[in-house]
Amino acid sequence: MHEKERELVSLLAAGCKSIGDIQDLIKNLFKGTIEQMLEAEMDEHLGYEKHNPAGDGSGNSRNGYNKKTLKTELGETEIRVPRDRNGEFDPQLISKYQTKTDDLEHRIIGMYAKGMTTRDIEDHLRDIYGVKASSSLISNITDKIMPAVVEWQARPLDSVYPIVFLDGIVFKVRHDGKVINKCVYTVLGINLDGHKDILGIWISENESASFWLSVCNELKNRGVNDILIVCRDNLSSFSSVVETVFPKSEQQLCVIHQIRNSTKYVSYKDRKLVTADLKLVYGATTLDEAEYRLEEFQEKWGKKYPQIAKSCYANWPELSTYFNYPEEVRRLIYTNNTVEGFHRMLRKLTKTKTIYPSDEAVKKSVYLATQEVTKKWRMPIRDWGIIVGQLMIFFEDRFKGHNVS
């Protein structure tokens, strides 16, 4: 024990005659410490310290206190929470609706989940709360969620998913002294109630058939027996693996990805015209019209850009799946926008972490960000009642025995 710690213990022990006295004293110290930290947060929020004339005319000021009772390991403690006149103060240490104290680990994990780097968290704890926590300590604390990541990735899934989306997002990871790109593949499922859920996340440097087979078998082992429609980018080897593991599933390639890939090597002066003609193909009302438009495209652009029509024809069985369905289903499945929207939110929460030290660090960050994003997925997707009704007609036998709300 350090000298200062001995002095503090001696000072505290001087007035204590029982264990109860010690507990009461610790409660009072806890209360005082919390209230001082909240005052520090208010200083940070307003931009000036209490009673400082610099706050005159600033447009906001302190406005007394609210009382809050916290349940702690020491029992219930009443604290005073400062408030501001504009009602904008939202303390981070003790949130507005919090009635139980969180320990430092939960606080650190919460900040990490919202995209703060270990260095950001270290600075925040020191500057606002006066808590010293090294980057390595913060990293070790966030590592404690890895068992939760493993448990989440292995959790049981529903037996049937009407629609599943698959897409990837690239992160930079250190590997053997080099920084390489690794793709995090996300499987996003829409369940029978129309709610989105991330079924799992997998990391890989390549798209080998064995990798996709392990992904599909993992979904199968976790309880997925049937997927009606799989929506995806043109991933290498994936199509044949789906046919093996989920032979009844229909597959829809992302039309937007197909158009982007098709126009990648088109000259700038032709790009708008080529894109407009491709949209005539994929925006057709019927399959016959789409095939007619594709023939027109081939006649017009085939000599100058032969690879475009060639790719369309090669992928046509899986590019044209959506023509089998009514408008509401088409809008949902012809593009990977559903999972790409999730990836945009994921990128927003992880943008400060430019290079990850390991695959585990990627998993940890992506898992925490996923929990943050999916908190808001409370409502079924738009027009789900119409969509599921239509799917029940097309796949009547595969809905038997399953309740649809």
Q: Per-residue confidence at 19, pLDDT binned at 50, 70, 90?
A: low
Q: Per-residue confidence at 10, pLDDT binned at 50, 70, 90?
A: low
pLDDT tens-digit readout, 85-130: 888 888 876 666 555 555 556 677 777 767 677 777 777 777 665 5
Q: Per-residue confidence at 27, pLDDT binned at 50, 70, 90?
A: low
The CA distance from 271 to 248, in Å, is 38
pLDDT > 70: what percent of the chain? 83
Task: Reduce the DSSP state of residue 95 to 3 states and report it.
Answer: coil
Q: Which residue has the tokens 């997707």?
A: 381
Residue 5 or 137, more confident: 137
Inform me whether the pLDDT recorded for 24 exceeds 90.
no
Residue 389 or 355, more confident: 389
369-377 average pLDDT score? 90
- Residue 76: beta bridge partners? 71
266-275 average pLDDT score? 94
Cite the DSSP H helix spans in 114-208: 118-124, 135-143, 146-153
Q: Per-residue confidence at 273, pLDDT binned at 50, 70, 90?
A: very high
Q: Per the structure block, which two tokens stand in for 175?
A: 């590997």
Inform me whether the pLDDT recorded for 271 exceeds 70.
yes
Inform me whether the pLDDT recorded for 2 exceeds 60.
no
32-47 average pLDDT score? 82
pLDDT tens-digit readout, 333-349: 999 999 999 999 988 88
User: Read out DSSP for 192-219?
Assistant: TTS-EEEEEEEEESS--HHHHHHHHHHH
Inform me whether the pLDDT recorded for 8 exceeds 70.
no
pLDDT tens-digit readout, 171-184: 999 888 899 998 99
Query: What pLDDT, on the 0 to 100 scale, is given for residue 269?
Result: 94
Query: What pLDDT, on the 0 to 100 scale, is given for residue 5?
Result: 52
On average, the pLDDT of the chain sits at 84
Inform me whether the pLDDT recorded for 9 exceeds 60.
no
Domain boundaries, the chain: 19-146, 156-399
The CA distance from 38 to 83, in Å, is 10
Query: What pLDDT, on the 0 to 100 scale, is given for residue 395?
Result: 92
- Contact present, 233 and 167 (Cβ < 8 Å): yes
Query: What pLDDT, on the 0 to 100 scale, is given for residue 22?
Result: 60
| Half-sphere exposure in the Cβ direction for 278 (13 Å, CA) | 25
Residue 136 or 102, more confident: 136
Query: What pLDDT, on the 0 to 100 scale, is given for residue 128?
Result: 60
Distances (CA, A) of 289 to 152, 257, 292, 301: 45, 21, 5, 18
Query: What pLDDT, on the 0 to 100 scale, is given for residue 72?
Result: 61
Query: What pLDDT, on the 0 to 100 scale, is given for residue 143?
Result: 72
pLDDT tens-digit readout, 185-205: 999 999 999 999 999 999 987
Query: What pLDDT, on the 0 to 100 scale, is given for residue 74?
Result: 57
Query: What pLDDT, on the 0 to 100 scale, is given for residue 196?
Result: 96
The CA distance from 6 to 24, in Å, is 20
Inform me whether the pLDDT recorded for 209 exceeds 80.
yes
